[in-house]
Chain A
């Protein structure tokens, strides 16, 4: 296994965030489509078309990650997100914490209104499927946007 440099670790986390963001968008489209379906709206094939486009984007980004100068070689450490570069590690931890908070924010209302869905105004839109999708969407979007925000280009030297 080649040495997993600090620069490669930062790149790995950033690419992971892009992939997570694309996944989040994919599941968001799926969730909105389900809600519209539950609301009795006919949206035709647009959700499917959008999901296919997003899936193609996902494949494109993963392919780019796997080839050329963007090739990452962190092995099992990369698979499990174990970083030794300090900034990358801290960014990952912050994103994990924020995603966890986001999930709690979705879970608590689920606990509070879960027993009385019929009485709740949104009851007809909450199924196991849509609730699960909401958790996935919140988790992926919060995590990915947190990483991309922390790794924004502000302050980067023009000469690199």
Chain B
């Protein structure tokens, strides 16, 4: 099984009372980008990860973590 990228983006959004659309507009991506990142259907690039981290003013590792597969 491949390594998985986990995220707690919904938590950060909730803390800031933001909708997916608002967050998407804030960092210049589509709402679909945000929703598919949250549901782990889409793994964002470093650029988007850094944009999100900069926006929330936290290190990237607070938003995204790597779940290493056991195999």
Contact = CB atoms under 8 A, between A and B. Distances in A.
A100 interface: no
A85 B39 contact: no
A6 B31 CA distance: 8
B23 to A, nearest CB: 9
A72 to B, nearest CB: 13
Contact of B33 (A6, A159, A160): A6
Interface string A140-160: 000000000011001111011
Interface string B1-39: 000000000000000000111001100111111011011
Given A7-B24, A160-B20, A155 B39 contact: yes
- Chain A interface size band reads 10 to 19
Specify the main secondary structure of chain B where it touches its partner.
helix
Contacts of B33: 6, 10, 85-88
A159 B14 CA distance: 12
A87 B36 contact: yes
B30 A9 contact: yes
Interface of A: 6-7, 9-10, 85-88, 90, 150-151, 154-157, 159-160
A7 B30 contact: yes
Contact of A154 (B21, B24, B39): B39
Nearest to B36: A87
Contact of B29 (A86, A156, A160): A86
B59 interface: no
30 contacts: A6-B28, A6-B30, A7-B21, A7-B24, A7-B25, A10-B32, A85-B29, A86-B33, A86-B45, A86-B47, A87-B29, A87-B32, A87-B33, A87-B42, A88-B30, A88-B33, A90-B42, A151-B32, A154-B39, A154-B41, A155-B35, A155-B38, A155-B39, A156-B20, A156-B31, A157-B21, A157-B35, A159-B19, A160-B19, A160-B31
